[in-house]
Structure 1
Amino acid sequence: MKKTEKTIVGISIGDINGIGPEIILKTYEDARMLELNTPIIFASAKLMQFLKKHFNSSINFFSIDNPEKVVHGKVNVVNVWKETIKIEFGKEDKKIGEYAIKSLEAATEALKKGSIDLLVTAPINKHNIQSDKFNFPGHTDYLAKALNGESLMFMVTEGLRVGLLTDHVPLKEASQHITEDLIISKINTIITSLKRDFGIVKPKVAVLGINPHAGDSGVIGEEDDIILKPTLQRIRDNGHLVYGPYSADSFFGSNAYKNFDAIVASYHDQGLIPFKTLSFGNGVNYTAGLSKVRTSPDHGTAYEIAGKGTADESSFKQAIYTGISIHRNRIRFDEYSRNPLKKASN
């Protein structure tokens, strides 16, 4: 495919009964977006026309049969299916989940082939996507397998980046997953991403404790002393600026996070509650560690407001901006031959 200066952004439609379609439409009703990138929505022209009418959108879609036929300056729609779909906004529907996966699989295939430069995923419902053919907790795990990568959920916004040691696992099992190998793998992924994806030459990383007060020297659990502290020391011995473990309860309120390029949380809510509180809906979920760039908004399907025209597209729009920035940073980084993964493969 002939490349241009304009970045080609592939978009998976997500759960059509949720707010995903609305925030996609609102994002590209801003004509300036087409000056920055060329979108390809993986769905169907028939569906997008229905959504255009429902939300009274001004967008004129350009229907194509495959992403290779992309037209710049247009909002392109790849026809992944052609049949009519019954839409009931706000309703969880197994059939709608199947179409969300069809869109995701088609977009991922285009990403692997290089037909699109990056992927932005609209929100899915993690329950209605499950089937014998698709058995993943969400986008991140699916893309890790499809792209053969060591994926990491990396939440990013202006002045704050939060990575997770464990993500979608029950809280009672989180500490069992945190091993020396996992800690080293996740932190190495974060450091590599900070350098290659965000252009930070010597990143500083803070790690939050597993237990309250990082275990209080074993009084509130031994995992921090036995597993986390010696592993972090080993990483520091290899020349990386990694600090902690810090007590999570005061770390964000004291603004200590501002002294670091990234924060590593031990489990999902330890990192995402402060992140979403501070990002005010402008956060982006970035999947670090993959060979390709994937971002998404930091929220879910929001069934309670779906179809009403009141959804805020800010996070989705920011996911596009962030994805484009990371894509360009990677090109710049690789051009200067500073990527150790690339050198190792030569």
Structure 2
Amino acid sequence: MSPKNHKVRVGISIGDFNGIGPEIIMKSLTDKTITDFFTPVIFGSGKLFTYQKNLFKLNLNFNYITEASQAQNGKLNMVNLVKENSNVELGKPSEESTKMAIDSLEAATEALMKGEIDVLVTAPINKDEMVKMGFKHAGHTGYFEEKFNKKGLMFLVSEDLKVAVSTHHIPISQVAENISKEKIKKQIRALNQTLIEDFSITRPKIAVLGLNPHSGDGGVIGNEEIDIISPAIKELSDNGILTFGPFPADSFFQPAKYKNYDAVLAMYHDQGLAPFKTLAYEEGVNYTAALPFIRTSPDHGVAYDIAGKNIADERSFMEAIFTAIKIFNNRNDYKDLMSNRLQPKRMPSDNGIDEDLPIESEM
């Protein structure tokens, strides 16, 4: 366990460098006091970042290292994965930018698993181009699930709104067949534990959305609510997890409704992410919950249309950094709490002897 004065090492993968990744990373680190709060460890290229630093007229100095274990507190550390010049074509993906996105992610993940960094913040990737290059997953979540050998939960978080999704990067035509009572129960349990351990919410209240319009209208527009979602909610509620719903998605995301709950479980990607990105776009963070390691990212993509124009907003990336740090500290506090909790006193056995008193020795 990390000591209380431990300065969190934040690993950063750079994403597609022809998008806005390097720009938002560097803009997030321009404050000279930023290293008082954490130690950045970027997995990228010194020459690439120097080129983009000059392009955006940013005053930054990097400490170049060959592996994350060499990172120094008080400095902006750069694990220099590529020593050659990079061919930058801002605004469109290239084979070179895609390969570096994969290399950066893999190097950062390896450092995370070896304990050389404490948390990982990932800049946006181009999923289609990465798949073409042999990447096996349609996003970060599946990648980390495979690496950590555990199912994760795609969880979008902000101060006021937290939304998880039961299914994420699959066609809408496959959503119904990819939900089940047992899967929803498992996801709600994971969400409940995440809210307790990672967000310090003692008794979380979780809202669950229906799959169909109007939550099926009592079976008129579908039976998934009756056959799958409602039974899962009831079983969990009967076992002490505060779970409510299913709610119609079209009317749920009104402040007077969603603010009554600590988190929401949506049934599919756009059902949860469309309202989240509308309500919390500038401060939203994508968190892969329920995994043994902490990974966050901004809630936006590569934004090729504004790459190189020096107008990318770094606030979501900064929120991703500080959310990862907060989760890291909350997890450690929770572990401390659980390891130091009082054990129940053992009751005396019914043998006529008061076990709280010493037994006299035989004469």
Q: TM-score band, normalised by the shorter chain?
A: over 0.9
Match of 1:54 in 2: 55
Following superposition, the deviation at residue 189 of structure 1 comes to 1.2
Count, aligned residues: 339
- The CA distance in 1 between the partners of 2:176 and 2:86, in whole Å, is 43
Identity across matched positions, percent: 49
Match of 1:301 in 2: 302
Q: Which amino acid is the alignment partner of residue 192 of structure 1?
A: Q
Q: Which amino acid is the alignment partner of residue 217 of structure 1?
A: G
Q: Contact 1:150–1:189 (CA<8 Å) still a contact in 2?
A: no
3-state SS of 1:187 partner: helix
1:85 corresponds to 2:86: yes
Following superposition, the deviation at residue 237 of structure 1 comes to 1.7
Q: Contact 1:12–1:41 (CA<8 Å) still a contact in 2?
A: yes
* 1:81/1:157 CA distance change after superposition, 3 Å: same
- The CA distance in 2 between the partners of 1:2 and 1:70, in whole Å, is 18
Greater alpha carbon shift after TM alignment, 250-259 vs 34-43: 250-259
Match of 2:181 in 1: 180
- The CA distance in 1 between the partners of 2:339 and 2:326, in whole Å, is 18
* 1:47/1:170 CA distance change after superposition, 3 Å: same
- The CA distance in 1 between the partners of 2:102 and 2:33, in whole Å, is 30
- The CA distance in 2 between the partners of 1:281 and 1:173, in whole Å, is 31
Q: Which amino acid is the alignment partner of residue 327 of structure 1?
A: F
Following superposition, the deviation at residue 57 of structure 1 comes to 1.1
1:35 corresponds to 2:42: no
Following superposition, the deviation at residue 16 of structure 1 comes to 0.3
Bigger Rg, structure 1 or 2: 2
Following superposition, the deviation at residue 149 of structure 1 comes to 2.1
Following superposition, the deviation at residue 131 of structure 1 comes to 4.4
1:320 corresponds to 2:321: yes
* 1:338/1:232 CA distance change after superposition, 3 Å: farther
Give per-residue Cα distances to partners, 1:255-287, cap 9 Å, x unaligned: 211011101101111111111111132100000
- The CA distance in 2 between the partners of 1:31 and 1:214, in whole Å, is 51
Q: Which amino acid is the alignment partner of residue 332 of structure 2?
A: I
Following superposition, the deviation at residue 240 of structure 1 comes to 0.5
Greater alpha carbon shift after TM alignment, 173-182 vs 100-109: 173-182
Following superposition, the deviation at residue 254 of structure 1 comes to 5.4
TM superposition outliers: structure 1 runs of 4+ over 4 Å: 1-4
Following superposition, the deviation at residue 132 of structure 1 comes to 6.5
- The CA distance in 1 between the partners of 2:114 and 2:25, in whole Å, is 24
Following superposition, the deviation at residue 130 of structure 1 comes to 1.1
Following superposition, the deviation at residue 239 of structure 1 comes to 1.1
Give per-residue Cα distances to partners, 1:185-219, cap 9 Å, x unaligned: 21111011001000111111000000011100000
Q: Contact 2:166–2:266 (CA<8 Å) still a contact in 1?
A: yes
- The CA distance in 2 between the partners of 1:182 and 1:2, in whole Å, is 37
* 1:3/1:247 CA distance change after superposition, 3 Å: closer
- The CA distance in 2 between the partners of 1:252 and 1:116, in whole Å, is 37
Match of 2:214 in 1: 213
Q: Contact 2:15–2:122 (CA<8 Å) still a contact in 1?
A: yes
Give per-residue Cα distances to partners, 1:114-170, cap 9 Å, x unaligned: 110100000000111114642100111101111122211100001110000111111
Superposed, 1:94-109 pairs within 5 Å as 94-109=95-110
Greater alpha carbon shift after TM alignment, 65-74 vs 92-101: 92-101
- The CA distance in 2 between the partners of 1:103 and 1:67, in whole Å, is 12
Give per-residue Cα distances to partners, 1:272-317, cap 9 Å, x unaligned: 1111111132100000011011000000000000011110000000
Q: Contact 1:8–1:38 (CA<8 Å) still a contact in 2?
A: yes
- The CA distance in 1 between the partners of 2:281 and 2:103, in whole Å, is 31
1:249 corresponds to 2:250: yes
Greater alpha carbon shift after TM alignment, 123-132 vs 106-115: 123-132
Superposed, 1:8-19 pairs within 5 Å as 8-19=9-20
- The CA distance in 1 between the partners of 2:111 and 2:4, in whole Å, is 14
* 1:26/1:200 CA distance change after superposition, 3 Å: same
Q: Contact 2:98–2:133 (CA<8 Å) still a contact in 1?
A: no
Q: Which amino acid is the alignment partner of residue 281 of structure 1?
A: E
Following superposition, the deviation at residue 44 of structure 1 comes to 1.7
Following superposition, the deviation at residue 3 of structure 1 comes to 9.6
3-state SS of 2:338 partner: coil
5+ residue gaps in structure 1? 340-346
